[in-house]
Structure 1
Amino acid sequence: MADVSRTFTVASPLGEVVAYLRDFANTTAWDPGTEKCEQTTPGPVAVGTEWHNVSSFFGRTTELTYRMTRDDPDHVVFAGRNGAAITSDDLSFEKVDDASTSITYRAHLEFTGLARFADPAARLAFEVLAAKTVKQMTGVLEAR
């Protein structure tokens, strides 16, 4: 099991930040591990919306189904799953001022079955990936 948490501030208004990050298809821009992510359920983004995500982790490509499990004006959560892992991306938002937002990003990865033996290496790799994610997410949000 690997858990990381980062809190950082971006120079972008709260409403714009939440609107962008609540659509998990945008992970292709802000998550360095995501190669492809497409919404698979019809309609607007809401609790229950699902995405098919293709990511590269440990040099391996993996596919997960993500589902939005929380959609509040200041907090969104996405739960991912495939046959070898359970994941979550938990994002909380707080207005700093009219032009800035504080983001707390929590990511969880838990391997299942035989894949659980990868856990010790996953912790270290997850820490490195979290730092890259913060940098990339900040750049994307501030360029919008």
Structure 2
Amino acid sequence: MIKVERVMHSSRSRDAIVAYMADFAHAEQWDPGTLTCRPTDADAPLGVGTEWLNVSSFRGRRTELRYELTRMSDDRLTFVGRNKTATSTDDLHFEPHSGGTRITYRAQVEFHGIARLATPLLKREFERLGDEVSEQLPATLQQALGPSAPGPQQP
């Protein structure tokens, strides 16, 4: 299993960030590996159980995962993606910090079957992707939501 964690800061409010990030289709903007990400049912309300079909590029190969929003609260979002080769979990925790929001991003990938043998070889690539997310996500939030938080936040 591969685990990657990054901590970032945004000047935007926790509520605004959670509302934006809850729609996993926005991964197209903040996740450098995502090529497309579309809801499986565009008419369904956004909430726990909502699913997206995510097409990513990893090491020059395209891969599809079906992601589901499995946890949604004021301070946490968890998305779990699955295909026959892997289960990928993106867990995001949000907390007020210094007039904005601290974002803790945890990604976990568990490979299945023979693909498990590649786990040690792929760790560095996932670390690199984590670094790219930590640069791209705050910039995306600033562009999508504006540069500053509207007023004080409650912890």
Scaled by the length of structure 2, the TM-score of the pair is: 0.89
Aligned pairs, number: 143
Q: Structure 1: how far apart are the matches of 2:105 and 2:88?
A: 13
Q: Which amino acid aligns with 1:89?
A: D
Structure 1, 8-17 or 76-85: larger mean CA deviation: 8-17
Any idea what SS the aligned residue of 2:139 has?
A: helix
Q: Structure 2: how far apart are the matches of 1:95 and 1:44?
A: 27
- Equivalence for 2:72: 71
Q: Structure 1: how far apart are the matches of 2:45 and 2:103?
A: 23
1:40 aligns with 2:40: yes
Q: Which amino acid aligns with 1:127?
A: E
- Equivalence for 2:8: 8
Q: Which amino acid aligns with 1:60?
A: R
Q: Structure 2: how far apart are the matches of 1:26 and 1:103?
A: 16
- Equivalence for 2:151: none
- Equivalence for 1:140: 140
Report the CA distance between 1:7 and its aligned residue.
1.2
Q: Structure 1: how far apart are the matches of 2:38 and 2:89?
A: 17
Q: Which amino acid aligns with 1:88?
A: T
1:113 aligns with 2:113: yes
1:51 aligns with 2:48: no
Q: For structure 1, which runs of at least 5 residues remain unmatched after alignment?
A: none
Q: Structure 2: how far apart are the matches of 1:119 and 1:51?
A: 25
Q: Give the alignment's Cα RMSD to 1 decimal.
A: 1.0
Any idea what SS the aligned residue of 2:120 has?
A: helix
Q: Which amino acid aligns with 1:124?
A: R
Report the CA distance between 1:83 and its aligned residue.
0.5
Any idea what SS the aligned residue of 2:127 has?
A: helix
Structure 1, 129-138 or 110-119: larger mean CA deviation: 110-119
Q: Structure 2: how far apart are the matches of 1:110 and 1:59?
A: 20
Q: Structure 1: how far apart are the matches of 2:95 and 2:142?
A: 16
- Equivalence for 1:91: 92
Q: Which amino acid aligns with 1:123?
A: K
Q: Structure 2: how far apart are the matches of 1:21 and 1:134?
A: 14
- Equivalence for 2:152: none
Q: Structure 2: how far apart are the matches of 1:77 and 1:27?
A: 13
Q: For structure 2, which runs of at least 5 residues remain unmatched after alignment?
A: 145-155
1:23 aligns with 2:26: no
